[in-house]
């Protein structure tokens, strides 16, 4: 029966023992013991199936469906799919100034907070590597914001940057610089820098911890030697630390870039993309189009473009940074 | 000095070299002052906003507007009671626990099973299956939110706690497979071979050897996935369409967005504190595992 459905191609594959069990109506009898190989095959299938099923149904299938739905004009939560419009949603995306703004803000996040986080994380990690007492304590403290929910971070920083009772403006008034007080999240020119500051606050500790653990693998004798040869801290950093943590740095940069493109919750809680689209990113753009403007096909097209950008960028970064690994 | 050599264990020759050039160490200590300064400033920048949030959550709204910095004259527990009832935070906490524990349990078990097979057996298509799982780490959640909503509607899971539970599980699985695959490879295969010779079935090898020996990897994956689910807002916004389904982040966010009219900001501080306090306690208790888990999770891949 199974053969008729699937053809002969499955006969030699790893799933064939399972089908044999289905066909013969049960496990082999005790008097004809299974071979080790058959037992292995059954185990392989049974152990892979639950994970593969959950992942396929709830991640891969919706992901593929997104490509499909993006080809349709579909408004409202109408159960029926709207008319097929081909690539129209994609063309519309590239003509839509709001969409361009969102992509632009993602690029901003890709560069500004990413670079700041990277520099700070490297600086902190190098400082801790240079054997500072209490390094473990500082690591624990700096890491903590990363455990917090974006919702809490968003609410907290929403207050910190608030115009009247915000901490930042309160501080400026305290030191008699009240004229510099701003509605940090309310002015288009200030909202992206403010959001970047929050992101750096959150992420620097995490990437510092990753880099510190990479630097632990560098033999200390290298630095001792450099010390004897009279290399200063800066030269040691460029000559020893940086080449030897390059592999980890590559992971760090990839994670930062993936994070920058996928940013959603923090911006949603802080500004919902406002004021007037000044902090709109692709994540909020997709969500708004689908669940606020009920423009499902278009929202999906934006999501597909977002996926393609993430995909292309992660390949690009990995290729670009793929140097020979430095051995010591 | 004795303290120092304990802090910096290294070869004896190096210790004695240090002693000879001890002026170098003094200079190093002086040079480290700016480093401490930077670290203390950043530590304050991290800690103070949280402390400020906690004590502001105990002020009255009038106190908040009178002074941003001031401590509460009398701790206002009422803020917490209002936040708790308005946001239905008790239900939200139970929901969050259900989603996090349920999806982490399911995904860690199924992920460990798949990772065991992928790391220990040779069979056709093994590598493609591994890459198939690995792709999941690179799929942005935003790509799937709309189709996930449609799928859940078709499966009639939109008004059920199991909808979110399953979606979170599906997203946790690839990460668990990815990390545990790397982790299980470090378990010496002699142990498994010995067990097999002793008559252990493959299932028994998994239960008795792989799971116990891979425990720290499984703990790391579970902690990271738990934090992701506990903190997620996106899928909650899309799928938790009624109040009884809301997890904590969505409930707290709802408290915030509904406060624009009343201006009861101290209550929002209280709601955010309710979300932070359990995380802070958990972080203090499990800090080593969390920090190590994050490192394993990012670098094992």
* CA A278/CA B25 separation, integer angstroms: 51
Verify that B162 and B41 share a domain, yes or no. no
User: What pLDDT is attached to residue A169?
Assistant: 87
What share of chain A in percent tops pLDDT 70?
A: 84
Verify that B117 and B18 share a domain, yes or no. no
* CA A110/CA A113 separation, integer angstroms: 7
Kindly state whether A140 is in contact with chain B, defined as any CB-CB distance less than 8 angstroms: yes
Residue B216 sits in a domain whose CATH number is 1.10.3720.10
Tell me how many residue pairs between chain A and chain B have CB atoms under 8 A apart. 282
Task: Mark yes or no for CB contact B110/A144 under 8 Å.
Answer: no
Verify that B6 and B136 share a domain, yes or no. no
* CA B218/CA A16 separation, integer angstroms: 31
Verify that B51 and B92 share a domain, yes or no. no
User: What pLDDT is attached to residue A165?
Assistant: 78
**Token duo for residue B91:** 């239900």
Mean pLDDT estimate for chain B? 84
- Most B CBs within 10 A among A9, A16, A58, hence the mutation to make, goes to A58
- Most A CBs within 10 A among B31, B61, B68, B256, hence the mutation to make, goes to B68
Verify that B6 and B141 share a domain, yes or no. no
Verify that B139 and B281 share a domain, yes or no. yes
Verify that B52 and B89 share a domain, yes or no. no
Q: How many domains does the structure of chain B reveal?
A: 2
Verify that B208 and B245 share a domain, yes or no. yes
Q: Is the pLDDT of residue B13 over 50?
A: no
Task: Mark yes or no for CB contact A14/B125 under 8 Å.
Answer: yes
**Token duo for residue A231:** 């290399």
User: Quick check: A301 and A70 in contact, CB under 8 A?
Assistant: yes
Q: What is the dihedral of CA A191, A91, A264, A300, to 10 degrees?
A: 160
Of B39, B65, B233, the CB nearest to A265: B233
Q: Which residue does chain A place closest to B35, by CA atoms?
A: A127
User: Quick check: A200 and B42 in contact, CB under 8 A?
Assistant: no
A137-141, A273-277, B166-170: range with lowest mean pLDDT: A273-277
- Nearest-Cα distance to chain A for B114, in Å, is 5
Task: Mark yes or no for CB contact B142/A174 under 8 Å.
Answer: no
Pick B261 or B99 by higher pLDDT: B99
In terms of Cβ atoms closer than 10 Å to its own Cβ (0-12, 13-18, 19+), residue B244 is exposed
* CA A278/CA A282 separation, integer angstroms: 12
Verify that B280 and B184 share a domain, yes or no. yes
Domain-embedded: residue B68: no
Structural domain including B27 reads: 2-56
Q: Which residue does chain A place closest to B36, by CA atoms?
A: A132
Using one digit for the tens of pLDDT, what is the confidence trace for A21-54? 555 544 544 444 556 678 788 888 999 999 999 9
User: What pLDDT is attached to residue B207?
Assistant: 85
User: What pLDDT is attached to residue A328?
Assistant: 46
E-only strand ranges, A132-276: none
Q: Which fold has domain A88-321?
A: MetI-like fold (1.10.3720)
Kindly state whether B64 is in contact with chain A, defined as any CB-CB distance less than 8 angstroms: yes
Nearest alpha-carbon partner for A318 in A243, A226, A254, A238: A254
* CA A289/CA A284 separation, integer angstroms: 8
Kindly state whether B143 is in contact with chain A, defined as any CB-CB distance less than 8 angstroms: yes
Contacts of B45 in chain A (CB under 8 A): 201
* CA A140/CA B203 separation, integer angstroms: 39
Contacts of B201 in chain A (CB under 8 A): 39
CB contact set of B291 (below 8 Å; sequence gap of 6+): A139, A140, A143, A209
User: What pLDDT is attached to residue B128?
Assistant: 92
* CA A87/CA A73 separation, integer angstroms: 10
| Cβ atoms < 10 Å from Cβ of B149 | 22
- Nearest-Cα distance to chain A for B113, in Å, is 5
In terms of Cβ atoms closer than 10 Å to its own Cβ (0-12, 13-18, 19+), residue B17 is middle
Q: Quote the distance between the C-alpha of residue A97 and its chain's center.
A: 25
Domain-embedded: residue B73: no
What angle, 0 to 180 degrees and rounded to 10, lies between the N-to-C axes of helices A135-143 and B22-56?
A: 30
Of B8, B107, B202, the CB nearest to A131: B8
- Most A CBs within 10 A among B52, B291, B295, hence the mutation to make, goes to B291
CB contact set of A116 (below 8 Å; sequence gap of 6+): A196, A200
User: What pLDDT is attached to residue B14?
Assistant: 44
Using one digit for the tens of pLDDT, what is the confidence trace for B31-49? 778 888 889 999 999 999 9
Mean pLDDT estimate for chain A? 82
Interface of B with A in 169-188 (CB under 8 A): 169-171, 173-174, 176-177
- Nearest-Cα distance to chain A for B219, in Å, is 16
Contacts of A39 in chain B (CB under 8 A): 201-202
| Model-level ipTM above the cut of 0.85 | no
**Token duo for residue A132:** 């500072």
Kindly state whether A174 is in contact with chain B, defined as any CB-CB distance less than 8 angstroms: yes
Kindly report, as residue ranges, where domains of CATH 1.10.3720.10 are found in chain A. Answer: 88-321
Domain-embedded: residue B64: no
Task: Mark yes or no for CB contact A40/B202 under 8 Å.
Answer: yes
* CA B89/CA B99 separation, integer angstroms: 15
Contacts of B147 in chain A (CB under 8 A): 61-63, 65-66, 69, 300
Scanning B136-264, the segments in alpha helix (DSSP H) are: 141-154, 161-184, 189-197, 202-205, 211-213, 215-231, 234-239, 248-262
**Token duo for residue A292:** 């606020």
Of B111, B145, B280, the CB nearest to A290: B145
Using one digit for the tens of pLDDT, what is the confidence trace for B251-293? 999 988 888 778 888 899 999 999 999 889 989 998 888 888 8
Kindly state whether B3 is in contact with chain A, defined as any CB-CB distance less than 8 angstroms: no
pTM: 0.84
Contacts of B117 in chain A (CB under 8 A): 43-44, 47-48
Using one digit for the tens of pLDDT, what is the confidence trace for A201-253? 999 999 999 898 888 888 888 888 888 888 887 888 888 888 888 888 888 88
DSSP conformation class of A72? B
Verify that B12 and B134 share a domain, yes or no. no
Using one digit for the tens of pLDDT, what is the confidence trace for B221-253? 998 899 899 989 999 998 988 888 999 999 999
Verify that B160 and B94 share a domain, yes or no. yes
Which phi and psi angles does B20 have, rounded to 5°?
A: -65, -45
A230: left (phi over 0), alpha (psi -120 to 50) or beta: left
User: What pLDDT is attached to residue A310?
Assistant: 86
């Amino acid at each position: 029966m199974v053969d008729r459905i699937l053809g002969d191609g499955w006969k030699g594959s790893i799933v064939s023992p399972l089908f044999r069990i289905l066909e013969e109506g049960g496990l082999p009898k005790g008097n004809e013991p299974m071979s080790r190989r058959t037992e292995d095959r059954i185990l392989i299938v049974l152990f892979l199936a639950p994970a593969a099923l959950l992942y396929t149904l709830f991640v891969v299938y919706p992901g593929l469906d997104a490509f499909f739905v993006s080809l349709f004009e579909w408004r409202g939560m109408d159960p029926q799919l709207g008319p097929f419009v081909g690539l129209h949603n994609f063309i519309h995306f590239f003509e839509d100034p709001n969409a361009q703004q969102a992509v632009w803000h993602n690029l901003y996040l890709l560069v500004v907070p990413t670079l700041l986080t990277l520099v700070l994380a490297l600086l902190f990690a190098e400082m801790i590597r240079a054997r500072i007492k209490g390094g473990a304590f500082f690591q624990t403290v700096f890491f903590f914001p990363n455990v917090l929910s974006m919702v809490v971070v968003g609410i907290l920083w929403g207050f910190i940057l608030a115009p009247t009772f915000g901490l930042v403006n309160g501080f400026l008034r305290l030191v008699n610089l009240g004229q510099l007080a701003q509605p940090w999240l309310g002015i288009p020119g200030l909202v992206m820098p403010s959001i970047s500051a929050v992101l750096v606050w959150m992420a620097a500790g995490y990437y510092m911890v990753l880099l510190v653990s990479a630097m632990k693998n560098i033999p200390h004798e290298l630095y001792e030697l450099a010390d004897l040869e009279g290399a200063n801290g800066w030269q040691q950093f460029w000559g020893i630390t940086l080449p030897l943590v390059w592999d980890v740095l590559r992971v760090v940069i990839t994670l930062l870039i993936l994070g920058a493109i996928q940013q959603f919750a923090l911006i949603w809680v802080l500004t919902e993309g406002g004021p007037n689209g000044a902090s709109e990113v692709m994540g909020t753009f997709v969500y708004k189009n689908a669940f606020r403007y009920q423009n499902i096909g278009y929202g999906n097209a934006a999501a597909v473009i977002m996926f393609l950008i993430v995909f292309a960028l992660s390949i690009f970064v990995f290729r670009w940074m793929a140097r020979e690994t430095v051995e010591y | 000095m004795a303290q120092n050599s304990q802090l910096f264990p290294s070869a004896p020759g190096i210790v004695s070299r240090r002693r000879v050039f001890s002026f170098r160490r003094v200079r190093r200590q002086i040079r480290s002052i700016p480093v401490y300064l930077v670290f203390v400033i950043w530590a304050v920048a991290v800690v103070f906003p949280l402390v400020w949030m906690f004590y502001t959550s105990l002020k009255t709204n009038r106190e908040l507007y009178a002074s941003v910095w001031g401590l509460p004259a009398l701790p206002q527990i009422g803020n917490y009671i209002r936040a708790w009832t308005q946001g239905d935070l008790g239900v939200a906490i139970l929901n969050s626990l259900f989603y996090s524990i349920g999806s982490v349990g399911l995904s860690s078990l199924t992920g460990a099973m798949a990772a065991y097979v992928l790391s220990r057996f040779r069979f056709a298509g093994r590598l493609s299956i591994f890459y198939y799982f690995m792709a999941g780490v690179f799929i942005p959640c935003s790509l799937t939110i709309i189709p996930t909503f449609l799928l859940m509607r078709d499966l009639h899971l939109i008004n059920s706690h199991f909808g979110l539970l399953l979606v979170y599980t599906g997203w946790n699985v690839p990460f668990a497979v990815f990390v545990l695959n790397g982790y299980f490879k470090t378990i010496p295969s002699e142990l498994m071979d010995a067990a097999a010779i002793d008559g252990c079935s493959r299932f028994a090898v998994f239960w008795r050897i792989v799971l116990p020996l891979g425990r720290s990897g499984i703990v790391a994956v579970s902690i990271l996935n738990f934090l992701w689910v506990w903190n997620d807002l996106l899928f909650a916004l899309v799928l938790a369409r009624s109040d009884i389904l809301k997890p904590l982040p969505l409930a707290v966010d709802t408290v915030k967005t509904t406060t624009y009219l009343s201006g009861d900001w101290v209550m929002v501080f209280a709601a955010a504190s309710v979300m932070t306090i359990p995380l802070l306690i958990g972080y203090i208790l499990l800090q080593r595992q969390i920090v190590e888990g994050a490192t394993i999770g990012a670098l094992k891949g």
